[in-house]
Amino acid sequence: MKIGIIGAGQLGRMLALAGYPLGSRFRFLDRSSDAPGAQVGEIVLGRFDDAEQLAALANSVDLMTFDVENVPADLLYDIADKINFLPPVPALETAQDRLREKRLFAELEIPTPRWQPVDSLDALHAAVDDIDLPAIVKTCRLGYDGRGQTVLRKLEDLQPAWERFAGVPLILEQFVRYEREVSIIGVRSTEGETAYYALTENVHEHGILRHSLAPYDVPNLQRLAEKYLQRVFDRYDYAGVLTIEFFVIDGKLVANEIAPRVHNSGHWTIEGAVTSQFENHIRAIRGLPLGDTSGLGHAAMVNFLGQLPVLEPVLAIRGAHYHDYGKSPRPMRKLGHCTITAETAAARDEGLLSLLALVG
C-alpha cells in the first residue's frame, strides 16, 4: 500500500514512521526537499496549490491523506473522485474556514463562544455592540498557531484591526475566560469503527502549544467530548484522526476549533498510549482494525520551540522520550518534542518540571 501525503512536515514524518511496520510506503508533496518527511519517504517538489503536482502524486499512490490544512479544496475534489482521499475533503474544507467551522458547530449543537461574521468596519462595530469587549477578531482562513487574530480591548482598537485585515473575511468572537484548554482526539475507520483517546489538557504560549498533560480525567467531560466528536464523524462519514479543541468554562466544554488530521496535542500517544494517533490514522484510512487507544499511565508532552535542548540532560529524566524533527532553528518554530511517561501523575509532573527547566 503506497500512501501519498500532502505536506512533509513532522506530522507526515511521524505518520510514515508509524505506517512502515504495517507495510505502508510513503510519498510526499512538499515545497522543500529537506522537509522532515524526506527522512522517511520520497519528496515530490511542488506547492500545495499546484494542481499538476497534486495530480502527479495521486497518480503514483493508492491512497492520499495530508498533514497540512492549507490545500485548496477545489483541487482536491477532482482527486477524491479518482482515488481514496481521507479524511474527506468536505471536512478539510470546513476546518479551513472559521465561519464554516462555527456554522458546523451550530448545526451539530456543539457550544461555542458567541461570534459574528464581519465584512466591513461598520459590521465590526455592530458585532462589538452585540458581543461587547474584550473580543477577538480572527481571519476566517489561514489562521493557526496564534496567527491571523488580534484581541480588541477598547473601541480605539477597532480601526487599526480592520486596517490590518482589510479585505479579508473575518469573524468577531467573544473573549472567554476559561479554566483550561483541552482537546479530544478520536479516530474513525472506513469500516465505521471508532475509538477515542483521553482528554488532554493543553498550555499555550503566544498561541502555540507549549505542553500537554494526559489524561485530563473528568469522566463526564470525556463522555461529552466523545459525543461531540461522534457528531462530526457522522456529519462527514469521516475516516481518519479528528481533533476538537475546547475551552473548559464553568465545568462545561465550549468548542474552539476542529483539526481533521493528527494533532500536536496527541504526540504523547506515541509512547503514552497502546496505539499512537499516527498508527491509528493509517489503520483508519486503510480500513484496518483500529488499535487500542488506552493510555499507559500518565504522560506529558513538551514542544521544543526555536531551539533544541541538549540531548543528554533530557534523556537523564526518568521516562523521557526525545524527538528531533531535523528542522533548522527559527524563533518559535516547532523543532521537536519530548514526552514524559510515568505510572503516576506526581511522577509525570516531576519529570515535566525538570524538562521545562531545561527548555526554558
Residues 231-257 have pLDDT tens digits of 999 999 999 999 999 999 999 999 999
Please state, in angstroms and rounded to a whole number, the distance separating the CA atoms of residues 271 and 320: 10
Domain with CATH 3.30.1490.20 in the chain: 114-174
Q: For 135-150, give one letter per residue: b (16+ CB within 10 A) or e.
A: bbbbbbbebeeeebbe
pLDDT at 142: 67
Q: pLDDT by residue (tens digit) across 295-345?
A: 999 999 999 999 999 999 999 999 999 999 999 999 999 999 999 999 999
Within the chain, all domains assigned CATH 3.30.470.20 are found at 180-359
Q: What is the reported pLDDT for 207?
A: 85
Mean pLDDT calculated for residue range 24-47:
95
Arch. (CATH architecture) of 2-85: 3-Layer(aba) Sandwich (3.40)
The CATH superfamily of 180-359 is ATP-grasp fold, B domain (3.30.470.20)
Starting at the edge strand that comes first in sequence, how are the strands of the sheet with 149-152 ordered?
Answer: 115-118, 170-174, 135-139, 149-152
pLDDT band at residue 146 under the 50/70/90 scheme: low
Above 60 in pLDDT, residue 40? yes
The CATH number, out of the four listed (3.30.1490.20, 3.30.70.20, 3.10.580.10, 3.30.565.10), of the domain defined by the range 114-174: 3.30.1490.20
What are the start and end residues of each CATH 3.40.50.20 domain in the chain?
Answer: 2-85
Task: Give pTM, 2 decimals.
Answer: 0.95
